[in-house]
A and B are shown apart, each in its own frame.
Chain A
Amino acid sequence: MLDRKTRRLLRHALGEDNIMEGVQVKHYAVDGFQPQVVLIPRTRDHVERIVVLAHEEQLAVVPWGAGTQMGLGNPPRRVDLVVCLHHLNRITNLDPENMTITADAGIRLAMIQESLSRHGQGFLLPLDPPCGESMTLGGALSTNASGPCRLRYGTLRDMVVGIEVIIPGEVEHGGQTRAGGRTVKNVSGYDMGKLYIGSLGTLGIITEATCRILPPPEDRATVVGAFSGSEDPWRLVEALQESQLLPSCIEFYNRETASFLTTNSNVGFNSEGGAWAAVGFEGISEAVSRQIEDIERLARSDGVKEIQLLRGPREKAFWQRYGQIGFEIRKRNPWSIGLKVAVPLSAAQGMSKSIDDKLLRMDVAAYQLSRGGSGISYAHMPLSEKLYREKEKSLADMVEALREEAGDSDGASVVVEYAPPAFKEKVDVWGGVGGMLPIMERLKKEFDPQAILNPGRYVGGI
């Protein structure tokens, strides 16, 4: 329990207005664990004071951006303070000549994209994760969120050149640390950004990052095809690999996902299909046109039943809708489960089929989508409480079976991205990390000796 002294210290550190107590805090629960207070810092200093105090008083802290991915991770061992970072939301440096942007972690990705698009010829941050509009930069960084265009542009670990983090293990020096810088090449010191990105806020609270940005492509388009069989898109990927084409994204999805996309966007298909593929191209106009021709030809020889070419607002609406799937499902069905499977490309088709077979046998529907060129698949299973309780054991067995099939060589993984807390009691959401766990535990002990940040939520119960 937060004692009176601690509450007084918090009020002193942040100001009365920036502390939320009482019934409202229930909106900031993590896997059913409600915080005692919700803190809303206005400055980096505030964040630092919170970390210093939490470190001294051994209070469990959960950093919070827009809350789009709070389902990720094991249930926390404890939650005392939720720290909302949305007021740290400025762009501190936009340098179009150097093609970098520096922004506070609490800024929404949509705000970054909007500011970039309005500047000069327009720029973009090549990052398109699901829930991309509302997600904050800090949220994207701590979960290493990514979307379809990672095929061409990589993920945040490839884009971040500088980072600022407040670390509990540093509190005697004030807590704020910087690494990297503003240049696109930099080997001065260790590449700390790589550790912080994807660390689920367990090493420190990210307060700022500098990312590479790109000039806008001259032209872009998406080709969507409906196929009869679920094997067909995989043949298309093989054909693409052997060709000279450079798609910016290759996405496959199943019938459930296709029908989700049809509502609220203008991309309906006349024919019945078993599997869909959406392939995007960006770049100079002649190259985009040639690639559209080529992929249509490849798709036809692959037996595609129907093709649509999307451009402009229609293309935009399609991808926007595509990024909303997980969120919508979670909103409508709080007992839903989302899986992410990542394997080498050569094993991806097999894993996808395995997921299909298991779902069929369990009689559970799923919205499936695959990053076709990356070996990564997502299965979103909408579940009512009743259905969850019925299928709980089979679902847990499925995760274990998939992990067994994926194996642990080659860095393959099966992650439960969101699930009811009851499921998280049965299944470790992350899976194992093999011989690396001792190093990761030691790292955690260095950076957060009192284990105040998101305790228990990360791999191996870190």
Chain B
Amino acid sequence: MGKSQLVRKIESIVGKGNVLHRHTDLLVYEYDASLHRGLPDAVAFATSTDQVSQLVKLANSLGMPFLPRGSGTNLSGGTVPSHGGIVIELSRMNRILEIDEKNQRAVVEPGVYNLTLQNALAPLGYFYAPDPASQRVSTIGGNVGENSGGPLCLKYGVTTNHVLGMEVVLPDGAVVKMGGKALDQPGYDLTGVFVGSEGTLGIATKITVRIMRSPDAVKTFLAIYDSVEDAGQTVSDIIAQGIIPAALEMMDRLVIKAVEESVHAGYPLDAEAVLIIELDGLKDGMDRLAERVIEICKRNRVRNMEVAASEAQREKLWTGRRGAFGAVGRLYPSYLVNDGTVPRAQLPRVLKKVAEIGRKYNLPIGNVFHAGDGNLHPLILFDERDKQQLKLVSKASDEILQACVDVGGTISGEHGIGTEKLQAMWLLFGWKDLKAMWMVKRTFDPGNLCNPHKVLPGIETVEVSAAHAG
């Protein structure tokens, strides 16, 4: 089928003016927040489930790959086409369909920004627990695809713990409902396996989430350290004492500098590391809990501790932390951020290894991460226009991932496998482990058209098996 014919067919589904097909327009959709590039054949802006279904059916009829995309803040290449095809853009499906306080649920379209949902809930006294740093711009649909975390996930869990049902357009275009406001639906937990499947099993067009009462009281600390080890040990000690803060985040010197220059939140420029520690819950006993936390920080040689005295001050601290990835753009034009996650007790050891690797390749590495759940984010800083550097960055990244796996960790805590970590999956899994996942992929998408070549390596083997099966 010729290009103009394809465009006409798409236009007949979403309307003229809702399709991008000129090269200059498509370039904008050639990338996401990772280092991967891939040009789509067309970008279609859908505004209804029916349109999504028709677009998927069209792609099927042409044997053409397709993939969903929200804001494109994906950090592993999940929203960049690997083999061309149709990008089904969902940002215009951005309505909050229902906030149901009685049932403690909200129903949203996939293009709703995470923060938009939070802001709609806050005045009612509710919040939606998964709060990724990208929340201002990442969509709920994207959060579902990646099983996003966020600082609050230490205490409250990640996206999969808060998504209770969905309407999904399957890779053949059929529309199916999974789960809903009620709990414990019999049968295999298709909702559960869909969350975190990175857009490879279908496209969510309605999402039912759990909302929770906002906590009675919140206390936020900034703890300032002269060594990364001391900060890391503090994290281990807090958890070991049986205290589960709402959030426990760390930033090192390099990141602090970038962040402070960007938001002026009062971060100390001469500190080696800071921790943001947030406690929440009933106000009864919170002061005593806070005392215990301060005590632990002091035992680990904290230089200074500041308590956010107002909501505005608290917001500033968090704005700084959330803006960290963007802020390092002041220092270097490009970054590759790792997402290795390790058992908490291994944190100090792995941080040391990360620093060693940085020195080995002469690359600056900033650290900003969810210390409480062992989810590192080493930011390897460089200029991607320097192809030599890009090679070194890739090597450094591989070594960091290996270091995480060596201590019993995993290669991705929340940013997804996408294209970027496809081969790194072999560090964790053998073929029989991956084959079970291919069984799931084949169940949902036997034609392998839905965001192909993402998440699962070894497609060559699968295709051969299928051919042998006749």
Contact A440–B188 (Cβ < 8 Å): yes
Other-chain contact of B282, A185, A216, A287, A345 (Cβ < 8 Å): A287
Interface members, chain B 143-198 (any A CB < 8 Å): 146-147, 149, 153, 157-158, 160-161, 164-165, 170, 174-193, 195-197
- The minimal Cβ–Cβ distance linking A172 to chain B, given in whole angstroms, is 9
Interface members, chain B 373-387 (any A CB < 8 Å): 373-375
- The minimal Cβ–Cβ distance linking A327 to chain B, given in whole angstroms, is 20
Interface residue tally for chain A (C-beta within 8 Å): 86
Complex Cα distance, B244 from A290, in Å, reads 20
Residues of A within 8 A of B216 (CB): 244
Contact B282–A290 (Cβ < 8 Å): yes
Other-chain contact of A187, B102, B164, B185, B416 (Cβ < 8 Å): B416
Residues of B within 8 A of A154 (CB): 157, 161
Other-chain contact of B192, A157, A343, A459 (Cβ < 8 Å): A157
Interface residue tally for chain B (C-beta within 8 Å): 92
How many A-B pairs have beta carbons closer than 8 Å: the answer is 266
Contact A177–B103 (Cβ < 8 Å): no
Other-chain contact of A188, B102, B175, B410 (Cβ < 8 Å): B410
Residues of A within 8 A of B410 (CB): 181, 183, 185-186, 188
Residues of A within 8 A of B425 (CB): 188-189
The answer to whether A360 has its CB under 8 Å from any CB of chain B is no
Residues of A within 8 A of B182 (CB): 342-344, 375, 410-413
One of B51-59, B352-360, B431-439 at the interface: B431-439
The answer to whether B318 has its CB under 8 Å from any CB of chain A is no
Other-chain contact of A177, B176, B185, B433, B456 (Cβ < 8 Å): B433
The answer to whether B284 has its CB under 8 Å from any CB of chain A is yes
One of B24-32, B222-230, B247-255, B440-448 at the interface: B440-448
Residues of A within 8 A of B373 (CB): 183-185
1/0 contact string of A188-226 vs chain B (CB within 8 Å): 111110110111000100000000001110000000000
Complex Cα distance, B105 from A247, in Å, reads 19
Complex Cα distance, B342 from A182, in Å, reads 8
- The minimal Cβ–Cβ distance linking A219 to chain B, given in whole angstroms, is 9
Q: Which residues of B contact A (CB under 8 A)?
A: 100, 102-105, 146-147, 149, 153, 157-158, 160-161, 164-165, 170, 174-193, 195-197, 213, 216, 236, 239-244, 281-282, 284-285, 288-289, 341-345, 370, 373-375, 408-417, 421, 425, 428-429, 431-437, 439-444, 455-456
Q: Which residues of A contact B (CB under 8 A)?
A: 95-100, 121, 144, 154-155, 157-158, 165, 167, 169-170, 173-179, 181-192, 194-195, 197-199, 203, 214-216, 241, 244, 246, 283-287, 289-291, 340, 342-346, 374-376, 409-413, 415, 430-431, 433-437, 439-440, 442-443, 446-447, 458-460
- A346-B100, A411-B165, A436-B178 known, 11 other contacts, Cβ within 8 Å: A98-B345, A157-B189, A182-B409, A183-B410, A186-B413, A191-B196, A195-B192, A199-B188, A241-B213, A289-B284, A411-B180
